[in-house]
Amino acid sequence: MAAQRTSAPAAVAPALPVLGGKKSSYRERVADALRAALIAGELRPGEIYSAPTLAARFGVSATPVREAMLDLVKEGLVDTVPNKGFRVTAVSEKQLDEYTHIRALIEIPTVVGLATTADPVSLEALRPAAREIVRAAAAGDLIAYVEADTRFHLGLLALAGNAHLVEVVGDLRGRSRLYGLTALLEAGRLTASAEEHLELLDALTARDKNAVREVMTRHLGHVRGLWAAK
Q: How do residues 66-106 score in pLDDT, each as one tens digit?
A: 999 999 999 888 999 999 999 999 888 898 889 989 999 99
Is residue 39 a contact partner of residue 173, using CB atoms and an 8 Å limit? yes
When pLDDT is averaged across residues 133-161 and rounded to a whole number, the result is 94
Beta strands in 13-170 (DSSP E): 48-49, 78-81, 85-88
Does the pLDDT value for residue 4 go beyond 60?
no
Does the pLDDT value for residue 19 go beyond 70?
no
What's the confidence (pLDDT) of residue 24?
53
What's the confidence (pLDDT) of residue 10?
38
Residue 228's pLDDT band (cuts 50, 70, 90): low
Lowest mean pLDDT among 22-31, 130-139, 155-164, 188-197: 22-31
Query: Which pTM value belongs to this model?
Result: 0.79
How far apart, in whole angstroms, are the C-alpha atoms of residue 205 and residue 187? 31
Is the CA virtual torsion 179, 219, 150, 144 positive or negative? Answer: positive
When pLDDT is averaged across residues 128-133 and rounded to a whole number, the result is 96
When pLDDT is averaged across residues 46-52 and rounded to a whole number, the result is 92
Residue 224 CA: distances (Å) to CA of 63, 178, 219, 230: 35, 8, 9, 12
When pLDDT is averaged across residues 220-224 and rounded to a whole number, the result is 77
What's the confidence (pLDDT) of residue 176?
84
Residue 201's pLDDT band (cuts 50, 70, 90): very high
The residue that leads in pLDDT, 54 or 179, is: 54
Residue 25's pLDDT band (cuts 50, 70, 90): confident
Is residue 226 a contact partner of residue 173, using CB atoms and an 8 Å limit? no
What's the confidence (pLDDT) of residue 27?
81
What's the confidence (pLDDT) of residue 192?
86
User: Percent of the chain having pLDDT more than 70?
Assistant: 87
3-class SS of residue 16:
helix
Residue 136's pLDDT band (cuts 50, 70, 90): very high
What's the confidence (pLDDT) of residue 167?
95
When pLDDT is averaged across residues 149-178 and rounded to a whole number, the result is 93
How far apart, in whole angstroms, are the C-alpha atoms of residue 175 and residue 35? 9
